[in-house]
Structure 1
Amino acid sequence: MELQSMKLAMPLLGILLWVLSIHAGIFSDASAHYRFLPFQGGALSNDVAASSTAPNRDMQEILDRITVEDLNGTVNFAENVIGYMKRLENNLLWSNIKVTDGTPSHGMLISFGPEKEALERGKDALVALRASNQLLNIYCHRLSKASLHQMSYQECAKLMSKFTFHGTTLSGYCDMLEASCKASDYDVPYRTINGSCNNKNRKHRGESFTGYSRLLYADYSDGAHEPRRSFTRKPLPNPRIVVSSLIQTGNKPSKRYTLALMQWSQFLEHDLCRSATAVAIHTDSPIECCSKEGVNLTPRYVHPFCSPIYVTHDKKYAEEGVTCLSFVRSIPAIRSDCTFGASDQVNQATHYLDGSQIYGSTLRKSDELRSFVNGKLATSTFEKRSYLPLSKDPTHDCQIFSNMSTCYESGDTRVNFQPQLTLMHTLWYREHNRIAEQLAKLNPHWNDEVLFQETRRIVIAEMQKITYSEWISTVLGKSVQEKLARSFPYRSDSDGSVSNAFATAVMRSVKSLSDGMPKLYDEERRANESIFMRNYFHNPGILRHEGVLDALARGLTTQSSQRLDIYYADDLINQLYTNGKFGFDVLSFDLQRGRDHGLPSYTKYRKLCGLNEASDFTDFKDVMKEQDIAALQRIYSSAADVDLIIGGLLEKPRGDSLFGPTFSCILQDQMIRTREGDRYFYDNHDQPKPFTTEQLHQIENVTLARIICDNGDNIKTMQKRVFEKVNTNKNPLFSCSSDEIPKLKLEYWQDSDPSFVRF
């Protein structure tokens, strides 16, 4: 029992070393359940490859000597170390180091703040993370000496992942992750709000507040949580330097696509992924890593979970004296197999395409959003028009300074991020209530619960159909869309969990499509006004102004999307969540988050996706322009250092895909698993209550054009393919009352058997 003797060994020294290492920039909260998914025919398979680290006899002897008591000792040690953080966190409270309303940090907190469920699970995950780190610290050096080469911490972490938390104080969490639902729970006709009991083998697979999956084993320089370093072992380049050296804030509009493509991409992202920033362990207080003026704090005021981006010699920020951009690391998640090893991050959304951004990811949130009358969602009314429900705490949920200002609620706290996103939420709230109202007339014998659940499953089916028919054909190309449009049989062995690479890199790159000046269009598709996005972050009141909702909707389907490239709107690169003085940089934060989440480098993902192995910058020529390769060479010390999101943005589009080959590969893998791993996917016949053939035919007619037509205030015309610009010959405008934009005929839901529904 080698570790028992150090059960409480020098806990003060332990936390001191931990905090010092964190302040040196090496803390990262990400716990990793990994999966190696080799590239096969344009998609990633779900077969888990064996670890490349095979222990020899001497190494195996060391591993065999590790007992349950030893493992429990590391957990106890971790609990003691974390306990000693209480004094530090109280000192920060007493020193008034906090997030101030209206600041950019407040905007970040609104978008990535944790729900209470994430906090509860995150505390256990932090113990697991610290215990894993302790285990690696003790054994990696010994294993390295016993091996035939200098073992990396990553290799050591893979070996340690053979040990589970069973037998430790965290074993209850393992029991939860491995639990199955009762047989009767699998016969329920409607999916749960939180995603549980979807997978037949694992009750909690795909559930909200579980960890992201991995396509590649996490890359942490200490094997557990220290951010990836350069191939030269030096720190990677500062994210802001990467952005200011590489990214341009120009206007590069697409000739083909509209802003609706950007908006649906963001709406879809919010359905599938929502990371959570850590808060103080003992007080649950939000963490601030810089002063509210954007200046560095003295080290004693910097929380261990901070990883601020320090800004030096930056022309944009120097004008306002800003030297510090506050970034708080993500809440970790216990690995899905409940083992020691590298860290994962919690996903607050369900991992299924199930409208969780509308309905919420917990029963508590869902109940808050319902009216409990005729199956409808709760709404607010302004000048006889229906809008999202109003926030009960507007100055907290939005970046506004008056409780009289407009701030909305929905299933996702990012609903108010910018007016176009709020518009999309509003259209789908109205769609739900429109369908519920018609179903109530067709089936007056249905109670509120049946009406709500039947409406919800129709709305989810509409969203799934739009995504797999219209959106995928645009972002991945027609041939891939035709492949994915076919009915995929449900596979209980298919893990539909969202991959960290998809959530933290691929879907974050779509911010490049945004335009910083959304235009308002009249019915003749003439732009008569523009708004600056920077003035409306978490400030959606403009949506209630006369005619603005329809004008914004027409703008989404008329104004050109920007291209997916290294050109970003200035409002996102320099003015994100601005307080009028300065704002944040979305891409710098995405870079920092990718490192925080342990994403391996771009070169490893491109190899995974079947491209030639790149050992030098010149090897990028197969997918990048020479001038972009030269720019990378000026920023990074090695090709092996390039961050995934940067490499993906620089790849030339593949065929008729929006993305280059690496992002196309990761995206295609995700969309296959999202479909075949979802027992309740709309066209899956092997679910408790499948849609009838006639109902499926109606769902196949659904388009985003029809959703906009039916739920705007007074939109009269729309093109059928709203992701593409209006074209007189190829994509003309039609009257919203025309059969050219088919309607969902709800008569086929009349007299469905309500006795089947058990509540």
Structure 2
Amino acid sequence: MATQDADTGSSGYRSTLPWKIITWAAEYIDRRIGWDRLPVPLGLLNVLGLRVSLRRHNLQDTSQLPSVNLPEVEPPTESHRINRTADGSYNDLKNPRMGMAGSRFGRNIPLHKIAPNTPEDVLGTPDPREVSRTLLTRTEFVPATGANSLLAAWLQFMVRDWLSHGKSPTENPWEVPLLEGDTWPERPMYIMRTPDDPTRDPAAPPETPMTHVNEFSHWWDGSQIYGANAEQQRHRRTGELGKLHVGDDEQLPFPGAPGEDPARVPGFWLGLAMMQTLFTREHNAICDHLHTTYPAWGDEEIFQRARLVNAALLAKIHTVEWTPAVISHPTTVTALHANWWGIAGERVSNLFGRISDSEIISGIPGSETDHYGVPYSLTEEFAAVYRMHPLIRDEWHFRAAADDGTLREANFREISGPEALKVLDTIPMSDLFYSFGTLTPGLVTLHNFPKFLQEYERPDGHLQDLAATDILRNRELGIPRYNEFRRLLRLKPAASFEDLTDNKMWAREIRKIYRDDIEKVDLMVGMYAERRPAGFAFSDTAFRIFILMASRRLNSDRFFTEYYTPEVYSKAGMKWIEDNSFGTVLLRHHPELRSSLSLVKNPFATWNITEGGKRAHKEEQTT
């Protein structure tokens, strides 16, 4: 399928000569100087130009490739117009399948540039296990100073809403060879394959680009809270006043529905449980508020409005709090706030609402829906750059919010899977949030992959090296290697290993393992090794996908654009989104944290250590 040029979209500024000049200039200046080295106003203009260029060149549609077994979709009803569906269907009323659960991942690279995934390409030198052991293993924890470990918990909470390639088949796994001296308990190492695309037409020509489907809805709709289908959603609802089930102690009723025990799902851990619990309780708080304001509303009306409000609040928190914490350069912080409020700013938005139809001036929420000429979906490249396991610590020190007193020490294995439920039973939730808020996450860099995730025992008992799996998964899904990836984003490739990284030791290590071939360096290795802009916890290369997809997830979703109105959300619902943040959510449900959060501008930044219980956080003082 050919690239569809976003110049044909509805936002006219993109097709004007001045904007074409700006995009050309943005790419030129970015290659010669770097957006992050410019003064903030010029940096903002440069990033805006890069976004327009990325929208023109890096949105690729896989839904038009030959397909079979597509679900039957009836014409939309009035309910579809004003409510989010459980599976994400009908978000686009003219194309009801767009972005629904079971639809394909798109791409941010030309389809003919998808890398082959033959055994030689996926397992070839260096094999994924060799990369994991040599370049990724955490030898000493490298902290992302200034941030806290709620970053890691939030990220996985979001990923559980956005994407999943589904449960891997157990037959015909990838067989990863092991070098002499490798202590892995089985030979060879087995890594399960990504499931095949059930909608791929078996009669399609062999050269048809590979595709895979997303088990979840592609939309930012809170499906990790509400369920990915109608059956899951029914099980989670109480049927009274719009609310979701919680236990008597306001904790989630683990286990969930039959067959949905979260502790038996790969990737379940304490941080995920904390976020799941917090925003289930937030949904119920929104329901209480709506019931008080609109007492005539029934269960269904309250549930649907509360879901819209909660999902929008999640999107707002991610846009203006989480992402600015993980990429805290002054230019990116300003740009992300402008995504939500526009360059007019939050104060103008709160006082006067939208003062312009332009998303640049008044932000994306409430603007016109725009797919930029390509049906909306999340992409394989988006999934690739969100592989940020180094954010997770290996060692956890749980302390009381009241006096900073030690409650217990634990390693990651002791707070994941079924063990996480034991922690939830023994440590109050407010103390868990306090502990996460005062512990730094890891920096997304080489030699900082959590050691317990390199020996991760899945709920089915299968032992997995997630670092090797991440490397293999990118290769299997046709993600280009680092240099080619940069070329496809119109970035300069690394001319040498010394050009790739300013760490001379890393350059030697990467050169050795990739046998002097700079073109073979995996995307993840290159991103973890390259120079990061000031304030960034991850790479500038990954940031290019963020520039494109962070706004696209809002622009394409009509519930964040033309349907982001009091008529759909209710006036009380819109006010709830406007007035709340991650900090207010935490304090609503855990007022004991007020002292720790006082004067903390962003709750994903390091919290205050409780007065009277201060101690030396040696790890937090590491630079």
TM-score, with structure 1 as normaliser: 0.63
Give the whole-Å Cα distance in 2 for the aligned partners of 1:33 and 1:388: 48
Q: 2:301 aligns with which of 441, 450, 459?
A: 450
- Residue type matched to 1:678 in 2? D
| Alignment partner, residue 137 of structure 2 | 248
Tell me: CA distance 1:532–1:187, structure 2 relative to 1, closer, same or farther (3 Å): closer
- 2:535 maps to which residue? 656
What does 1:371-382 correspond to in 2, within 5 Å? 371-381=238-248
* Number of positions where the alignment pairs a residue of Structure 1 with one of Structure 2: 531
Separation in 1, partners of 2:563, 2:220: 17
Report matched runs for 1:653-692 at 5 Å: 653-681=532-560, 684-685=562-563, 689-691=567-569
Asked whether the 8 Å contact 2:3–2:59 carries over to 1, the reply is: no
Counterpart in 1 of 2:486? 606
**Cα shift at 1:348:** 1.0
Once the 2 structures are TM-superposed, how far is the Cα of residue 50 of structure 1 from its aligned partner? Answer: 12
- Choose the corresponding residue for 2:578, options 674, 692, 700: 700
CA contact (8 A) 2:402 2:592 kept: no
Q: Which residue of 2 aligns with 1:96?
A: none
Q: 1:730-751: CA deviations, max 9, x gaps?
A: x999xxxxxxxxxxxxxxxxxx
The range that moved more, 551-560 or 703-712, is 703-712
* Shift in CA distance, 665/718, structure 1 to aligned 2, threshold 3 Å: same
Q: CA separation of 1:608/1:636 partners in 2, compared to 1, >3 Å: closer, same or farther? A: same
Deviation at 1:547, TM superposition (A): 3.4
Does the 8 Å contact 2:398/2:431 carry over to 1? yes
Counterpart amino acid of residue 644 in structure 1: L
Q: Distance in 1 between matches of 2:293 and 2:154?
A: 31
Aligned counterpart in structure 1 of residue 178 of structure 2, from 304, 311, 317: 311
Aligned in 2, Cα 1:687/1:699: closer, same or farther, shift over 3 Å?
closer
Which residue of 1 is the match for residue 417 of structure 2? 538
Distance in 2, matches of 1:472 and 1:248, equals: 26
Task: State the Cα RMSD in Å.
Answer: 3.6
Q: Superposed, which structure 2 residues align to 1:629-644 within 5 Å?
A: 629-637=507-515, 638-644=517-523
2:554 maps to a residue whose letter is R
Per-residue deviation, residues 410-448 of structure 1 (Å, max 9, x unmatched)? xxx55x711121111011111112222332233332111
Structure 2 letter corresponding to 1:453: Q
Any idea what the Cα deviations from partners look like across 1:55-75, whole Å, max 9, x if unmatched?
Answer: xxxxxxxxxxxxxxxxxxxxx
The aligned counterpart of 2:618 is none
Partner amino acid, structure 2, of 1:372: G
Question: What are the superposed Cα offsets for residues 347-381 of structure 1, whole Å, 9 maximum, x if unpaired?
Answer: 11111111111111111211121111221112333
Amino acid at match of 2:118: E
Aligned in 2, Cα 1:446/1:575: closer, same or farther, shift over 3 Å? same
Q: Aligned partners of 1:724 and 1:499: how far apart in 2?
A: 29
**Distance 1:541-1:310 versus aligned 2 partners, 3 A rule:** same
**How far, CA to CA, are the matches of 2:106 and 2:156 in structure 1?**
20
Q: Distance in 1 between matches of 2:584 and 2:440?
A: 20
Tell me the distance in 1 between the aligned counterparts of 2:390 and 2:262: 26
CA contact (8 A) 2:497 2:518 kept: yes
User: Does structure 1 retain, via aligned residues, the 8 Å contact 2:305–2:570?
Assistant: no
| Residue 559 (structure 1) shift | 0.9
Instruction: Specify the SS of the correspondent of 2:470.
Output: helix
Q: Distance in 2 between matches of 1:185 and 1:596?
A: 42
Q: CA deviation at 1:518?
A: 2.3
Pairs within 5 Å for 1:120-269: 165=66, 173=70, 182=75, 184=77, 188-217=81-110, 226=118, 229=121, 235-249=124-138, 250-269=140-159
2:566 is aligned with 1:558: no
Quote the residue 2:214 is aligned against.
347
Q: Does 1:502 align with 2:382?
A: yes
Q: Which residue of 2 aligns with 1:745?
A: none
Q: Matched residues in 2 for 1:718 and 1:473: separation? A: 20
CA distance in 1, matches of 2:64, 2:158: 36
CA contact (8 A) 2:81 2:93 kept: no
1:725 has 2:606 as partner: yes
CA contact (8 A) 1:560 1:725 kept: yes
The whole-number CA distance in structure 2 between the counterparts of 1:227 and 1:458 is 46
2:255 is the counterpart of 1:390: yes
Change (3 A) 1:702 1:342: same
1:427 and 1:712 in contact (8 A); partners too: no
Q: Deviations over 1:201-248 (max 9, x none)?
A: 42211111111111114689995x535739xxx924211100111123
User: In structure 2, which of residues 36, 45, 50 is the aligned counterpart of residue 42 of structure 1?
Assistant: 50
The amino acid that maps onto 1:570 is K
> Is the contact between residue 193 and residue 360 of structure 1 (CA under 8 Å) also seen in structure 2?
yes
Q: Cα deviations across residues 427-470 of structure 1 (Å, max 9, x unaligned)?
A: 11111122223322333321111111111111111101101110
Q: Is the 8 A contact 1:388 1:426 kept in 2?
A: no
Partner residue of 2:348? Answer: none
Aligned match of 2:160:
270
Task: Name the counterpart of 1:100.
Answer: none
Superposition pairs for residues 10-29 of structure 1, below 5 Å?
none
How many percent of aligned residue pairs carry the same amino acid? 20
Match of 1:462 in 2: 313
Whole-Å separation in 1 of the counterparts to 2:545 and 2:244: 35
Deviates more, 1:454-463 or 1:270-279: 270-279
**Cross-structure match for 2:187:** 323
Distance 1:542 1:396, change over 3 A: closer
Q: After superposition, what is the alpha-carbon deviation per residue over 1:141-198, rounded to whole angstroms, capped at 9, x for unaligned?
A: xxxxxxxxxxxxxxxxx9xx99964xxxx6564xx69x7x636458621121211111
- Tell me the equivalent position of 2:231: 364
- Given residue 319 of structure 2, which amino acid in structure 1 is its aligned partner? Y
Q: For 2:100 and 2:2, how far apart are their aligned partners in 1?
A: 15
Equivalent pair of 2:152/2:441 in contact (CA under 8 Å): yes
What's the CA shift for 1:512?
A: 0.6
Partner of 1:482: 337
Instruction: Report the counterpart of residue 505 of structure 2 in structure 1.
Output: 627
> Does the 8 Å CA contact 1:378/1:389 hold for their aligned counterparts?
no
Q: Quick one: distance in 1 between partners of 2:499 and 2:127?
A: 24
CA distance in 2, matches of 1:188, 1:615: 52
1:570 to 451, 455, 464: 451
Give the letter for the 2:449 counterpart: Y
Q: Counterpart of 1:254 in 2: which secondary structure?
A: coil
Q: Does the C-alpha gap of structure 1 residues 324 and 555 become closer, same or farther in structure 2, counting only changes over 3 Å?
A: farther
- 1:711 corresponding residue in structure 2: 589
Larger Rg: 1
Change (3 A) 1:365 1:627: same
Q: How far apart in 1 are the matches of 2:115 and 2:548?
A: 29
How much does 1:631 deviate?
1.7
CA deviation digits over 1:288-325, x for unaligned, max 9?
Answer: xxxxxxxxxxxxxxx33x113333334442xxx43243
SS in 2 for 1:560: coil
Deviation of the 1:328 alpha carbon? 1.5
Distance in structure 2 (CA, Å) of the matches to 1:313 and 1:395? 40
TM-score by length of 2: 0.76
Residue aligned with 2:146, SS: strand
Q: For structure 1, which runs of at least 5 residues remain unmatched after alignment?
A: 1-31, 52-157, 280-286, 288-302, 400-412, 734-759
Partner of residue 393, structure 2: 515
